[in-house]
């Protein structure tokens, strides 16, 4: 059989045909799909897999302690698919054990109270879920209203304060505090202060 003189697509077809003959001769005639991965130019061919985890299945664990933690916001959402790094300033959030929180929005300071409810659903890498983490409620949010010199910082501050008002869930992902809205959409993430 002249194999190497064939075009690439014909060689691939010949290889797959030969492989099918081998599978069939090894008892693979029951109609089941092969469970070993085949690749074509580095692209995996779908194989039989376990059913994906649904959002109804939660892995409840003891909630990490939020009170007594301090965070620096590293990036935040400006809408679906738009992430912005915090610019020129430190945007912070600190959770006290007494149920209060405070921080800097970049120029002005803010404060309020926080509560958590419902079981904590641990984040599973590769399986994002709108129910990851735990419900987080901010109340009595207030902030100072000092005019800042830089208009870009003022705009960023307005966006951060808006995100705080939309908070609905929190989750730790690889030791990073991640704030989400009540539907599970990303608002901002942080690094430990």
Is 178 inside a domain boundary? yes
User: Do 155 and 66 lie in a common domain?
Assistant: yes
User: Do 89 and 26 lie in a common domain?
Assistant: no
User: Do 39 and 76 lie in a common domain?
Assistant: no
User: Do 74 and 27 lie in a common domain?
Assistant: no
Is 115 inside a domain boundary? yes
Q: How high is the pLDDT of residue 136?
A: 97
User: Do 65 and 40 lie in a common domain?
Assistant: no
- The boundaries of the domain holding residue 21 are 8-44
Is 182 inside a domain boundary? yes
User: Do 186 and 94 lie in a common domain?
Assistant: yes
Q: How high is the pLDDT of residue 62?
A: 80
pLDDT higher than threshold 50 for residue 40: no
User: Do 101 and 131 lie in a common domain?
Assistant: yes
Higher-pLDDT residue of 1, 147: 147
Report phi then psi at 161, rounded to 5.
Answer: -65, -35
Look up the CATH number of the domain holding residue 152.
2.40.128.270
How does pLDDT run across 60-89, given as a tens digit for each residue? 568 889 999 999 999 999 888 788 999 889
How does strand 39-40 pair with strand 109-121?
Answer: unpaired
Is 49 inside a domain boundary? no
Average pLDDT across the chain, whole number: 77
The 3-class secondary structure across 126-188, one letter per residue, is CECCCCCEEEEEEEEEEECCCCCCCHHHHHHHHHHHHHHHCEEEEEEECCEEEEEECCCCEEE
User: Do 70 and 129 lie in a common domain?
Assistant: yes
Q: Is 19 helix (H, G, I), strand (E, B) or coil?
A: helix
Q: How high is the pLDDT of residue 56?
A: 53
User: Do 99 and 16 lie in a common domain?
Assistant: no
Over its C-alpha atoms, the chain yields an Rg (Å, rounded) of 26
Number of domains present in the structure of the chain: 2
User: Do 86 and 145 lie in a common domain?
Assistant: yes
User: Do 70 and 163 lie in a common domain?
Assistant: yes
């Amino acid at each position: 059989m002249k194999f190497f003189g064939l075009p690439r697509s014909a060689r691939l077809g010949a290889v797959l045909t030969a492989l099918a003959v081998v599978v069939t001769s090894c008892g693979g005639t029951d109609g089941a799909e092969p469970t070993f991965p085949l690749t074509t130019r580095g692209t995996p061919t779908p194989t039989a897999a376990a059913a994906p985890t649904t959002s109804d299945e939660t892995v409840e664990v003891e909630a990490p302690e939020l009170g007594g933690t301090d965070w620096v916001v590293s990036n935040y959402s400006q809408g679906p698919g738009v992430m912005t790094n915090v610019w020129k300033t430190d945007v912070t959030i600190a959770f006290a054990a007494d149920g209060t929180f405070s921080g800097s929005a970049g120029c002005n300071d803010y404060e309020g109270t926080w509560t958590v409810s419902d079981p904590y659903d641990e984040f599973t890498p590769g399986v994002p879920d709108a129910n990851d983490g735990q419900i987080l409620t901010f109340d009595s949010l207030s902030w100072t209203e000092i005019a800042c010199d830089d208009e870009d910082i003022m705009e960023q501050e307005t966006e951060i304060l808006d995100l705080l008002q939309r908070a609905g869930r929190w989750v730790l992902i690889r030791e990073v505090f991640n704030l989400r809205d009540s539907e599970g959409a990303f608002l901002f993430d942080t690094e430990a202060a």
